[in-house]
A and B are shown apart, each in its own frame.
Chain A
Amino acid sequence: MTNFKTVTATVSAVALILGLATMPSLAAQTDITVGMQLEPPNLDPTGGAAAAIDEVVYANVFEGLTRFTADGEVVPALAESWDISEDGLTYTFHLRDGVTFHDGSSFDAEDVKFSIDRARAEDSTNAQKALFADIQSVEAVDAQTVKITLSQPNGLFLFNMAWGDAVIVAPETADTLATDPVGTGPFAFATWTKGDSVALEKYAEYWGEAPRLDKVTFKFIPDPTAAFAAVMAGDVDAYPNFPAPENLEQFKADPRFTVIVGSTEGETILAMNNKKAPLDDIKIRQAISHAIDRQAIIDGALFGYGTPIGTHFAPHNPDYVDLTGQSAHDPEMARKLLDEAGVSDLTLSLKLPPPAYARRGGEIIAAQLKEVGITAEITNVEWAQWLEDVFKAKNFDLTIVSHTEPMDIGIYARDDYYFQYADADFKAILEELNKTTDPANRSELLGKAQRKIADDAVNAYLFQLPRTGVANAKIMGLWPNAPTQANDMTAVYWVD
């Protein structure tokens, strides 16, 4: 009898435990696992160029004076407000009160001065030093006020300060940020399991509105097939930048998931080596632009996600000028231009980096070029090889790449940039733009710049890279677009 009792007791205890375990939780979930394709090489946004760094820490762990919102607007962050002098040279930032770093130390004007001076220093390892190029001096007026003086007016200064590379760090922890990031954001760094994941935890002393999640885990799954399986199995709750657009239809059909389609700052171009014959002839570049059918590339390589562009500018930007008609798909015109240029049987190298948009897009472009009599010899290369061979050594005719930095039309003014445009007139437009702060004038100059590079057919402009993500349907608050490289978890929450 005793035995029987014990057994029943055990059985009911087990049943109770099982019942508790399987009972639906009453409160909404407060932890999230976010899938990413690449693992960051380190976690210091002020000391590395990799997008994956910002995708983990931007707005979550680190904050700057200003920040980007989900739709790309620049809003106050650690600076509550600012005054700009008449001549546009002096910015006085009024810092937020009661801000602390995750190690408990307080945040003040000295930290700002330290961070900006560190980023713009001669020996700085900051990946975007150009952001700070116009800064002449940084002065901590008092604990809550910082005065930054520029050497020349820069209409983009507040925008520049919103970048992940311009976040504020503390002098005490600055040297160890790569493995132990300490910032002022709503989440503090918890653990990094190399090769697998980075975990963040809610920071209780956060100055702003407290996040609704307690724990965020970024899990790195490079293989698109494995990513698909991980999302399907619920191992990751969200994959904001899903690498295989072909699988999105399946997620769409599944009520457990939502598919989030937005845009990025990625102008995807067929870059041409402007200094290398025969591509130094504008007629040939125009012919290539006319040979390309953008919609076929978007449909074939990205399963219809993506917006055609006619110049190097994001279509969602209010200053965008739609110039796609100027280089519309017209094989007849392309052949005519090639005749005028006096070439036949043109063979060009086409080097393709690993992303699907480049590899698939490249095959489609090669077929389209074949229609007008240009042979594109495809070579698939890895990123390291692409950087070495194409970007640095400029040993290429054609390549496909997405330029994902926001507002990066300025690369066309760089002399040594890989597509080697270096046009004096364009540089003059950009120089004027940099000195202009008046919004209307800026708009006009930006339009001029866009038209200039489209008229010169510097590159063939293909499409704005979409951001296609997938998430559990119960997750709210994820950014649909990517105005900068970020996975901002501040406003993310689960609903029941």
Chain B
Amino acid sequence: MSAPPADRNAEGNFLGAALRHPAFIAGLVLTLLFVGAALLSYLWTPYDPTRLDIAAKLQTPTSGHWFGTDHFGRDIFSMLMVGARVSIAVAIIAVGIGVSLGVPLGLYAAAHRGSLLDEVVMRGNDLIFAFPSLLLAILITAVFGPGAVNAIIAIGIFNIPVFARLSRGAALSLWTREFVLAARVAGKGRARISVEHILPNLMNLLIVQGTIQFSLAVLAEAALAYVGLGAQPPLPSWGRMLADAQTFISLAPHLALFPGLAIVLTVLGLNLLGDGLRDLHDPRLRRART
């Protein structure tokens, strides 16, 4: 086993600690609800979310339509379920892009600290960071055309510097640790140390950051869809549902209420989950609690 057993003996306490962490539990429940709805939508939705029924438009919530119907008579509950799927798909892939490109860049930069490539990678990251993220996402989708795929790419690009910095910063401190020194003495190369010793110790950090980035990606997807640059109709999208609801706000407030709540609760859930994971993984905080 190459990775040092930093917290191995604490693993057993993890579950117990998690159960005593109410914010973590709340976050987990909300997130599972959101993921569950998205998964369930592949098998079943109360109605076809793209089927229009003009005669039944703008109905308030009833037993037939739990969250009512929108201005085309589509079932809002079904649209939210499929919309969750879009949000998750966009967020997973976007965060995936960030992790798969950002982490190697960060590790490489840390392993070759002070080299030209370190400078290039980190200044490149600064460049992306310097732009307000949503503005650049809008720029990308405006240039390459609106659509779910371009939204994913746009959001993904913003996740690269986040993960690159995070992993570089954390990796730098790990490079000074004894077990890395031992590995170097044993003759392992920089790349091999990065993969075998540094990366496993970054995992907790990456999971926490990933959860938070995931919530930001959900929010970014909704924002892009709101301005018409996300998933295109008829594919339901939470952001567009909100945008469509805008002029109906005084006539049928439930049109805005439900997608708004869906976004708020999902982002809240992911943030609580992220915070909870951070607390649970932080040995100092855990010790302070027990």
Contact = CB atoms under 8 A, between A and B. Distances in A.
Contacts of B54: 296, 299-300, 364
B168 interface: no
Contacts of B283: none
A368 to B, nearest CB: 8
B247 A380 contact: no
Contact of B247 (A246, A300, A367, A370): A246
B72 A250 contact: no
Nearest to B248: A246
A225 B234 contact: no
B52 interface: yes
A360 B240 CA distance: 12
A379 B50 contact: no
Interface string A223-253: 0110010000000000000001011011000
A367 B251 contact: no
A378 B145 contact: no
Contacts of A367: 50-52, 72, 234
Interface string B46-75: 000011101101000000000000011100
A249 B72 contact: no
Interface in B130-170: 145-147
A363 interface: yes
Contact of B71 (A296, A300, A362): A300
Nearest to A298: B54
Nearest to B147: A379
A370 B52 CA distance: 11
A366 interface: yes
B72 A380 contact: no
Nearest to B249: A225
Contacts of B100: none
Given A300-B71, A363-B233, A380-B228, A228 B250 contact: yes
Contacts of A249: 251
A425 B250 CA distance: 52
B246 A225 contact: yes
Contacts of B234: 363, 366-367, 378
A393 to B, nearest CB: 14
Contacts of B246: 224-225
Interface string A283-309: 000000000000010011000000000
A299 B50 CA distance: 17
Contacts of A379: 145-147, 232
A147 B147 CA distance: 58
A247 B146 CA distance: 29
Contact of A296 (B51, B52, B145, B147): B52
A378 B251 contact: no
B251 A246 contact: yes
Contacts of A296: 52, 54
Given A246-B251, A367-B52, A360 B71 contact: yes
Given A300-B52, A367-B52, A246 B232 contact: no
A378 B249 CA distance: 25
A358 B234 CA distance: 14
B249 to A, nearest CB: 7
B51 to A, nearest CB: 7
A144 to B, nearest CB: 52
Nearest to A376: B234
Interface string B69-103: 00111000000000000000000000000000000
Given A225-B246, A244-B247, A364-B54, A300 B72 contact: yes
A492 B251 CA distance: 31
Nearest to A366: B234
B56 to A, nearest CB: 11
A225 B72 CA distance: 19
A366 B233 contact: yes
Contact of B146 (A225, A362, A380): A380
Contacts of B72: 300, 360, 363-364, 367
A241 to B, nearest CB: 15
Given A363-B234, A380-B232, A247 B250 contact: yes
Contact of A364 (B52, B55, B248): B52
Contacts of B57: 300
A380 B224 CA distance: 13
A296 B54 CA distance: 6
Contacts of B247: 224-225, 228, 244, 246-247, 356
Contacts of B55: 299
A366 B251 CA distance: 26
Interface in B230-285: 232-234, 246-251
Contacts of A366: 233-234
Given A360-B71, A379-B146, A380-B146, A247 B251 contact: yes
Instruction: Output the residue of B55, B147, B247 with the most chain A CB within 10 A.
Output: B247
A246 B255 CA distance: 13
5 contacts: A296-B52, A299-B55, A362-B233, A366-B234, A380-B228
Interface of A: 224-225, 228, 244, 246-247, 249-250, 296, 299-300, 356, 360, 362-364, 366-367, 370, 377-380
Q: Which 10 A-B pairs have the closest CB atoms?
A: A300-B54, A244-B247, A367-B52, A224-B247, A299-B54, A296-B54, A363-B233, A378-B233, A380-B228, A378-B232
Given A247-B250, A249-B251, 8 more contacts: A228-B250, A247-B247, A250-B250, A296-B52, A299-B54, A300-B71, A363-B52, A380-B232
